[in-house]
Amino acid sequence: MDSFSLFDENYKIVCDKIQNAANSVGKNFEDITLLAATKTVPVETINYSFEKGIKYMGENRVQEFLSKEEALNKGFHRHFIGTLQTNKVKQIVGKVELIQSVDSVKLAKEISKQSVARNITSNVLIEINIGSEENKSGLDKSKINEILAEISEMNGIFVKGLMTLGPIFENNLQKSKFFEEMYKIYIDNRGKIKDNIDIGILSMGMSDDFDLAIKCGATMVRVGSALYGKRNYN
Ligand SMILES: *Cc1c(COP(=O)(O)O)cnc(C)c1O
């Protein structure tokens, strides 16, 4: 099957699952933002998916994003979803609508600095390492108040919500425990509105578990292989 037909088939399945999961918690399909995680996917396939209805896309490597950026449909909401090194911030700032992966004060400071230099504001999510896993990106959940307090003093950066990768588990019971904990952190912080903090987005759930994440309160899911087929790397 060619990559376009594969996408068509998969897209329908993903949309049905989103719809069902949303309905099961009293939400509508439109309440959930489906972001296509497009690493390794060729630009022509990504642009094809735009025509079919995908409006949000995210890349997780700076180099790959930059190599695709110009050829991407101009209508895309472009997000950066991968680990971001401080020294690469200047290559990304101003080119994406949302950086989903801010997991340290140091990174936030650099985004602030590069944004102020360009006279813009960068929207970000705070990435939480909800499973407290070693060697995994994301901020420890105990540090959320601290980072929000620090960012509230910065210019050029606006916190729109929270993101997590979530631990990889075989069983849904364990997964939903972490998703529920993440949702609780989201609710606890949602009301804390400051000049540059307004937590509305909860980005969690990927190909294997996006329906579960929606049932646990996700407002945005990031789906790659369930739309485009299996990849050779992560
Ligand atoms: C690749 C990726 C996804 C999507 O992964 P799939 O399992 O293919 O759906 C989601 N979030 C991030 C940060 C990713 O890098």
Residue with tokens 């601290």: 146
pLDDT of residue 193: 85
Q: Which residues have CB under 6 Å of ligand 1?
A: 37, 39, 60, 81-82, 165, 206-207, 222-226
pLDDT of residue 203: 98
pLDDT of residue 206: 97
pLDDT of residue 134: 86
- Pocket-testing residue among 81, 125, 175, ligand 1, by greatest number of atoms within 8 A of Cβ: 81
CA 138 to ligand 1 centroid distance, Å: 14
Q: What is the share, in percent, of the chain residues with pLDDT greater than 70?
A: 99
CATH superfamily of the 3-228 domain = Alanine racemase (3.20.20.10)
**Position 76: which residue type?**
F
The number of the ligand 1 atom at minimal distance from the alpha carbon of 208 is 7
Asked if residue 199 lies in contact with residue 192, where contact means CB atoms within 8 angstroms, the answer is yes
Q: Which protein residue has the closest C-alpha to ligand 1 atom 7?
A: 207
Domain ranges in the chain are 3-228
CA 84 to ligand 1 centroid distance, Å: 15
pLDDT of residue 233: 60
- Pocket-testing residue among 64, 222, 225, 234, ligand 1, by greatest number of atoms within 8 A of Cβ: 222
This prediction has a pTM of 0.96
156-200 pLDDT, tens digit per residue, is 999 999 999 988 877 888 999 999 999 999 999 998 888 999 999
CA 226 to ligand 1 centroid distance, Å: 10
CA 194 to ligand 1 centroid distance, Å: 30
**130 vs 165: CA distance, rounded Å:** 8
Q: What is the DSSP letter of 39?
A: T
Q: Which residues, given as ranges, of the chain have pLDDT below 50?
A: none
**187 vs 144: CA distance, rounded Å:** 13
Asked if residue 130 lies in contact with residue 166, where contact means CB atoms within 8 angstroms, the answer is yes
**Residues in contact with 133: Cβ distance below 8 Å, sequence separation at least 6, in sequence order:** 167
Q: Which protein residue has the closest C-alpha to ligand 1 atom 2?
A: 37
The number of the ligand 1 atom at minimal distance from the alpha carbon of 225 is 8
